[in-house]
Amino acid sequence: MTFDRSPAPASRLTEPGLRLALPLWLAGWTVMRLGGHRGPGLGWTVAHGVWIVAILLLGGGCVALYRRGPREGGGRALASAALGMSLVGAAALVGQLGCDLVVGLRSADRTAMSDAYDRVFAVPGVQLALFQVGPALLFAGLLVLVVLAFRTGRASSQAVALVVVGIIAQVAGKPLPGWWRVVEGLGGACLWWSLASIARISPTTAITAADAAGQRGTASTARATGA
């Protein structure tokens, strides 16, 4: 299965995700760290609401990355698979955040939240799909899409490195106690830096590595003929 790559009007809906998704995620993360993590309340609700918007935008950003990937052959098939994986992961993460939001709104304290989560996790498949495997697909697909964009000359090697560091930092920082959770925030900042740098390269004007090689070859041939 492949996806449409036409730049308009879809690009107007997806390109902002590269610039806005991670700043919004960081805003929600900051609200959560400043008080939302203590339990149900305004901070919890605001953080999760902002995160839902951020993940929806990130899904659009993955579509924008796909448009920067290979346009034919096995690379296109891999890009399509990575995009599908990313969108499934984004849907799972939105589902997780939706559960968190509802649990917070319906609970009076952390004990009530714990009881509510027990009921949620009692539903077969919910914990695996929405809280474990599902969200991981988003970031696995994101990494593949960035690597493919690099292969076509539409992302820098620095952008790839920042995505790798960002994902590792987020995974490593999430279980850390107290202010050590800043590692997770730094991971989000790395992802923001990476995607923002890619957003500056237009998907319609970037020269692929193959095109660049072809142009060099044509130039060399012309020089040899002229000689």
pLDDT in tens, 142-175: 999 999 999 999 999 999 999 999 999 999 999 9
Instruction: Tell the burial category of 83 from Cβ atoms under 10 Å away from its Cβ (0-12, 13-18, 19+).
Output: buried
pTM of the model: 0.84
DSSP-based three-state secondary structure for 201: coil
Q: Which residue do the tokens 């890619």 mark?
A: 198
Bigger pLDDT: 190 vs 1: 190
Bigger pLDDT: 147 vs 223: 147
- The pLDDT tens digits of the residues spanning 29-88 come to 999 998 877 889 999 999 999 999 999 999 999 999 999 999 888 899 999 999 999 999
Residue 140 has pLDDT above 70, yes or no: yes
Q: Give CA separation, 163 vs 172, 183, 190, 209, in Å.
A: 14, 14, 7, 21
Contacts of 5 (CB under 8 A, 6+ apart): 66, 67, 71
Q: Which residue do the tokens 């959770």 mark?
A: 181
pLDDT above 70: percentage of residues in the chain: 85
